């Protein structure tokens, strides 16, 4: 009888592909299956947030994503008599190498991730559907069905449902998916538009709603997104209908042509009641679905995956305690809930027919937005939230602030900022990274060896000297996903030792 796989990844959308990349890096035994025979060719999600670009950088794919994408920096709000131009992401974000929203179709994002997996000899098994799960002792028997109808039983220690909104894993694990559907129907098209300035997001706001054009590049130059007007015919989406709606917002200034994809869809706001049930985990759309407002969906899914993969791999290999698996839900479920709240608010403001909100949307917002954007602090807060750079695990179970906390710089639970620039690249290798600030001589090799003995193969030490994000002398431990698990001032390492004994126990020889 063959040993169970460490992990079966169900679903090869952006979440499953990112999870597979991390499982590969950390040497887990796994398979990744997807019931569709081909990857997604439509754009669907169209923007990658700065934090996702950072999180994917250790796999060496971020430069390729940027190369293929369009870092649009401007939002152009079209009002009846003028156009207000606003920076989308800008100077507020100094601690990232990627201070922009990257427009790139989901198909391209998946293509870059798939090519990376292929280079790593990972076979994405397409045309293979998960049809059943059964717990058998310490593992799970997973029934997989191929396109020809044949079935195979595979044993796995853990199963991760990256299988989207209608997740089979979620259903089989008996996890609820609570929430509601919005009443509106949305129209989406990837197409060419004559009359739009390139390299900007365009919005047209009226009392009826909002019309967006996003710069997509491929498979078409523009993504159009709007609500189906209540008086529009309930026909299949066609170019004539889209042109009519566009004329209602923009007069006769824009001409639509050459659509490569047109569809209509309803939106939901739902979250999984739990992200884990025993050996079953949920990530991405299987755990949360919401409106595309703010371009959070795919980004949150990829970051779920990158929170989970290294934990599953190291626990499976006996290099990290089981307790890490409980931290997944504790850290990611609050992020999922806050995305549901945030996108719901943005959605309501964009679509409500309530007269007060309509007035705010069409009259106040265009006037106030430029003023608000000049206010550095609120602008920074908004950008940090939307860019997902503000996500932190300060209150998570695997986060410890040492007895003395540095006065400046990132705190335990925060993402490691890329400040000074290049710090994230220096700490991008697999495993943990111990950052030591202040003069090198303060950190004796003997002291460090005694703290790291039995786990030094998983912890890289970086003496940062003055190039540290902290003042005064501080030490901080960066987790494999780029978040700080432990931070303390001074050179006293007993707190760090206790943290490591709990979360990365020394290997006995
Ligand atoms: C029309 C549309 C427009 C969107 N626009 C945006 C946007 O503008 N911005 C944004 O951020 N997000 C957008 N989204 C959402 C975004 O596409 C998702 O958040 C993203 O695809 C989630 O990735 P995922 O990998 O979690 O799930 P998915 O991409 O849904 O992938 C799930 C995969 O699991 C596979 N699968 C399902 N069941 C099984 C099974 N039983 N066995 C094996 N495989 C299975 C499926 O074939 C699929 O490939 C949009 C979605 C839609 C539908």
SS3 of 48-65: the string is ECHHHHHHHHHHCCHHHH
Q: What ligand 1 atom has the least distance to the C-alpha of 11?
A: 34
Considering the chain, tell me which residue range(s) the CATH 3.50.50.60 domain(s) occupy.
5-69+102-178+269-346
CB-based contacts of 446-451 (< 8 A; 24+ apart in sequence): 447/491, 447/493, 448/493, 451/493, 451/496, 451/497, 451/500
Q: How far is CA 178 from CA 119, 161, 164, 327, in A?
A: 39, 17, 15, 22
Distance of CA 493 from the midpoint of ligand 1 (Å): 45
Of 90, 42, 99, 69, whose CA–CA distance to 215 is shortest?
69
If one residue of 15, 107, 163 were mutated to test the ligand 1 pocket, choosing by the most ligand atoms within 8 A of its CB, it would be 163
Question: Under a CB-based contact definition with an 8 Å cutoff, are residues 117 and 24 in contact?
Answer: yes
Question: Under a CB-based contact definition with an 8 Å cutoff, are residues 430 and 499 in contact?
Answer: no
Q: Rounded to whole angstroms, how far apart are CA atoms 117 and 385?
A: 30
Q: Rounded to whole angstroms, how far apart are CA atoms 156 and 35?
A: 18
Q: How far is CA 137 from CA 111, 134, 227, in A?
A: 38, 10, 50
The fold of 400-503 is Glutaredoxin (3.40.30)
Question: Under a CB-based contact definition with an 8 Å cutoff, are residues 386 and 294 in contact?
Answer: yes
Of 16, 284, 260, whose CA–CA distance to 126 is shortest?
16
Instruction: Report the pLDDT value the prediction gives residue 407, as an integer from 0 to 100.
Output: 82
Question: Under a CB-based contact definition with an 8 Å cutoff, are residues 164 and 12 in contact?
Answer: no
Q: Rounded to whole angstroms, how far apart are CA atoms 76 and 334?
A: 33
Q: How far is CA 15 from CA 37, 70, 99, 145, 176, in A?
A: 17, 22, 23, 21, 20
Regions of the chain with pLDDT less than 70: 1, 40, 89-92, 350-379, 509
Q: Which residues line ligand 1 (CB under 6 A)?
A: 10-16, 33-36, 44-46, 106, 129-130, 162-164, 168, 188, 263, 265, 284-285, 292, 295-298, 301
Distance of CA 187 to the CA centre of its chain: 24
Q: Which two tokens stand for residue 395?
A: 């209150």
Q: Rounded to whole angstroms, how far apart are CA atoms 423 and 484?
A: 13
Instruction: Report the pLDDT value the prediction gives residue 365, as an integer from 0 to 100.
Output: 65
Q: What ligand 1 atom has the least distance to the C-alpha of 214?
A: 8
Instruction: Report the pLDDT value the prediction gives residue 466, as an integer from 0 to 100.
Output: 83
Q: Rounded to whole angstroms, how far apart are CA atoms 492 and 509?
A: 27
Q: Rounded to whole angstroms, how far apart are CA atoms 292 and 351?
A: 13
Distance of CA 459 to the CA centre of its chain: 25
Instruction: Report the pLDDT value the prediction gives residue 93, as an integer from 0 to 100.
Output: 79
Distance of CA 113 from the midpoint of ligand 1 (Å): 15
Element (H, E) at 2: none
Question: For atom 14 of ligand 1, which residue has the closest CA?
Answer: 45
Question: For atom 27 of ligand 1, which residue has the closest CA?
Answer: 164
Q: Which two tokens stand for residue 278?
A: 């025993």
Q: Rounded to whole angstroms, how far apart are CA atoms 264 and 238?
A: 10
CB-based contacts of 218-221 (< 8 A; 24+ apart in sequence): 218/68, 218/105, 218/107, 218/108, 219/41, 219/43, 219/105, 219/107, 219/190, 219/260, 219/261, 220/190, 220/191, 220/192, 220/258, 220/259, 220/260, 220/261, 221/191, 221/192, 221/193
Backbone φ and ψ of 312, nearest 5°: -60, -45
Element (H, E) at 141: strand 139-146
Q: Rounded to whole angstroms, how far apart are CA atoms 6 and 158?
A: 6
Instruction: Report the pLDDT value the prediction gives residue 205, as an integer from 0 to 100.
Output: 84
CA angle 487–382–216, rounded 5-degree value: 110
Distance of CA 163 from the midpoint of ligand 1 (Å): 8
**CATH entry, 5-69+102-178+269-346, from 3.90.1300.10, 2.130.10.10, 1.10.10.1800, 3.50.50.60:** 3.50.50.60
Considering the chain, tell me which residue range(s) the CATH 3.40.30.120 domain(s) occupy.
400-503
* CB contact set of 232 (below 8 Å; sequence gap of 6+): 241, 244, 245
Instruction: Report the pLDDT value the prediction gives residue 508, as an integer from 0 to 100.
Output: 75
Residue owning tokens 């997740």: 167
Q: Rounded to whole angstroms, how far apart are CA atoms 104 and 101?
A: 9
If one residue of 32, 38, 45 were mutated to test the ligand 1 pocket, choosing by the most ligand atoms within 8 A of its CB, it would be 45
Distance of CA 285 from the midpoint of ligand 1 (Å): 6
Distance of CA 468 from the midpoint of ligand 1 (Å): 39
Instruction: Report the pLDDT value the prediction gives residue 384, as an integer from 0 to 100.
Output: 85
Report H helices in 232-322.
239-250, 297-316
Distance of CA 164 from the midpoint of ligand 1 (Å): 5
Q: What ligand 1 atom has the least distance to the C-alpha of 223?
A: 8
Distance of CA 13 from the midpoint of ligand 1 (Å): 6
Q: What ligand 1 atom has the least distance to the C-alpha of 265?
A: 1
């Amino acid at each position: 009888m063959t040993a169970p796989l460490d992990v079966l990844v169900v679903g090869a959308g952006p979440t499953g592909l990112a999870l597979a990349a991390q499982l590969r890096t950390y040497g887990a035994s796994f398979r990744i299956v997807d019931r569709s025979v081909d990857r997604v060719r439509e754009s669907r999600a169209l923007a990658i947030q700065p934090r996702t670009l950072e999180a994917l950088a250790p796999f060496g794919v971020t430069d390729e994503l940027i190369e293929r994408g369009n870092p649009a920096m401007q939002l152009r709000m079209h009002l009846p008599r003028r156009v207000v131009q606003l920076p989308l992401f800008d100077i507020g974000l100094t601690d990232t190498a990627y201070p922009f929203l990257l427009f790139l179709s989901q198909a391209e994002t998946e293509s870059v991730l798939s090519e990376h997996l292929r280079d790593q000899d990972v076979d994405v098994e397409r045309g293979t559907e998960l049809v059943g799960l059964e717990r058998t002792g310490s593992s799970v028997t997973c029934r997989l069905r191929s396109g020809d109808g044949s079935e195979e039983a595979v044993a796995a220690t853990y199963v991760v449902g990256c299988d989207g909104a209608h997740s089979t894993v979620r259903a089989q694990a008996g996890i609820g998916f609570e929430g509601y559907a919005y009443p509106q129907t949305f129209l989406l098209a990837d197409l060419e538009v004559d009359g739009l300035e390139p390299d900007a997001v365009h919005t047209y706001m009226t009392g009826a709603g909002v019309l967006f054009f996003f710069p997509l590049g491929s498979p078409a130059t523009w993504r159009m997104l709007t609500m189906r007007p209540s008086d529009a015919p309930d026909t299949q989406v066609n170019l004539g209908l889209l042109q009519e709606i566009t004329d209602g917002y923009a007069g006769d200034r824009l001409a639509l042509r050459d659509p490569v994809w047109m569809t209509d869809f309803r939106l939901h706001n739902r979250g999984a009641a739990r992200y884990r049930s025993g050996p079953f985990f949920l990530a991405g759309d299987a755990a949360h679905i919401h409106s595309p407002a703010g371009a959070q969906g795919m980004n949150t899914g990829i970051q779920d995956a990158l929170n989970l993969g290294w934990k599953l791999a190291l626990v499976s290999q006996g290099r990290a305690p089981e307790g890490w698996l409980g931290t997944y839900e504790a850290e990611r479920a609050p992020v999922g809930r806050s995305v549901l709240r945030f996108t719901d608010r943005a959605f309501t403001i964009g679509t409500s027919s309530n007269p007060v909100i309509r007035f705010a949307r069409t009259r106040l917002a265009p006037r106030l937005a430029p003023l608000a954007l000049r206010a550095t602090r609120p602008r920074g807060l908004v950008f940090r939230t939307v860019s997902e750079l503000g996500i932190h695990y300060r209150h998570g179970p695997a986060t410890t602030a040492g007895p003395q906390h540095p006065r400046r710089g990132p705190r335990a639970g925060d993402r490691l900022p890329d400040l000074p620039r290049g710090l994230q690249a220096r700490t991008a290798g697999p495993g943990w990274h111990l950052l030591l600030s202040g003069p090198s001589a303060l950190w004796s090799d003997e002291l460090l060896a005694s703290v790291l003995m039995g786990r030094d193969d998983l912890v890289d030490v970086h003496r940062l000297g003055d190039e540290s994000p902290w003042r005064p002398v501080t030490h901080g431990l960066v987790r494999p996903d780029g978040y700080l698990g432990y931070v303390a001032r001074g050179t006293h390492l007993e707190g760090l030792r206790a943290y490591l004994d709990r979360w990365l126990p020394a290997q006995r020889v």
